[in-house]
């Protein structure tokens, strides 16, 4: 009986001891599991953080590409039309009075009528050759290709004995005679026009001799093409 009790007590002790050992092992295994799980979770979080860091890494700046440049060629600047000659221009036609209009740029050669015509006449005299040849030479060299307007002018003395009915007619006839000489000596007729002004444009009201003249106007100004 005593042995039975001792055996029962010993078995009970062993059972309790075994149960205690099992509980301890369970607790240890659970702790290891939890620790392992915590490590796995921590490792997973680290991987996620690394992935985010890689995605958020700013892109390397790209060096700007220099634009293609070409060396410009020479720029042709359109030539401006030459300015009209000034009034004090050195243009001169022989020994005849020559002036340049500061407003229009046209060049005018003044030929007194006494060098060309007898009073009341429109036929060139032999002595007119010198003056006329100077004009011809200038139109061929200094003013080659320029248009010309020959203008006849008289004083205001009324015509009494003449085949011309008025000073206007006489002045135009004299301008025509000068044109005929120019054309006969090599000036293209298409370059020359004539106009008779009579006494309407006096140069000097106090000196009638200056009003009796022929003006050879060379259209050298910017408005020449429209005249």
* Contact between residue 117 and residue 213 where contact means Cβ atoms under 8 Å apart: no
My answer on whether 125 and 219 are in the same domain is yes
Alpha carbon distances (Å) from 63 to 18, 56, 60: 75, 21, 9
My answer on whether 20 and 109 are in the same domain is no
How many other C-beta atoms lie within 10 A of the C-beta of residue 117? 22
pTM of full prediction above 0.75: no
Alpha carbon distances (Å) from 89 to 81, 99, 106, 174, 224: 18, 8, 11, 28, 18
CATH of the domain at 209: 3.30.1330.60
Domain boundary among 13, 30, 49: 49
The predicted structure's pLDDT at residue 96: 96
Mean pLDDT for the stretch of residues 43-64: 63
The residue segments making up the domain with residue 132 are: 97-226
Q: Give every strand in the sheet of 192-196, ordered side by side.
A: 97-100, 107-112, 213-218, 148-153, 192-196
**39: in domain:** yes
Mean pLDDT for the stretch of residues 29-52: 73
Helix axes 128-140, 167-184, angle to 10 degrees: 60
My answer on whether 112 and 186 are in the same domain is yes
My answer on whether 18 and 113 are in the same domain is no
**56: in domain:** no
Q: What's CA 159's distance to the chain center, in Å? A: 58
Q: Domain tally for the chain?
A: 2
My answer on whether 126 and 42 are in the same domain is no
Model pLDDT for residues 174-219, shown as the tens digit of each residue: 999 999 999 999 999 999 999 999 999 999 989 999 999 999 999 9
Model pLDDT for residues 111-170, shown as the tens digit of each residue: 999 999 999 999 999 999 999 999 999 999 999 999 999 999 999 999 887 789 999 999
- The DSSP bridge partners found for residue 214 are 111, 152
Torsion sign, CA atoms 132, 136, 137, 138: positive
């Amino acid at each position: 009986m005593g042995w039975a009790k001792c055996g029962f007590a010993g078995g009970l002790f062993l059972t309790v001891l075994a149960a205690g050992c099992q509980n301890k092992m369970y607790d240890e295994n659970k702790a290891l599991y939890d620790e392992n799980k915590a490590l796995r979770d921590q490792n997973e979080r680290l991987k996620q953080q690394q992935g985010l860091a890689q995605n958020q890494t700013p892109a390397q700046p790209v060096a700007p590409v220099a634009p293609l440049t070409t060396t410009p060629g020479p720029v042709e600047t359109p030539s401006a039309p030459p300015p009209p000659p000034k009034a004090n221009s050195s243009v001169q036609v022989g020994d005849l009075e020559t002036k340049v209009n500061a407003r229009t740029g046209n060049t005018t050669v003044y030929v007194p009528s006494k060098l060309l015509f007898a009073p009341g006449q429109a036929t060139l005299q032999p002595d007119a050759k010198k003056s006329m040849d100077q004009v011809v030479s200038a139109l061929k060299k200094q003013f080659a290709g320029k248009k010309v307007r020959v203008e006849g002018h008289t004083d205001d003395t009324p015509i009494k004995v003449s085949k011309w009915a008025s000073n206007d007619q006489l002045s135009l006839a004299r301008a025509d005679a000068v044109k005929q000489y120019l054309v006969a000596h090599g000036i293209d007729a298409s370059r020359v026009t004539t106009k008779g002004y009579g006494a309407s444009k006096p140069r000097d009201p106090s000196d009638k001799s200056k009003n009796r003249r022929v003006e050879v106007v060379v259209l050298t100004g910017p408005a020449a093409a429209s005249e």
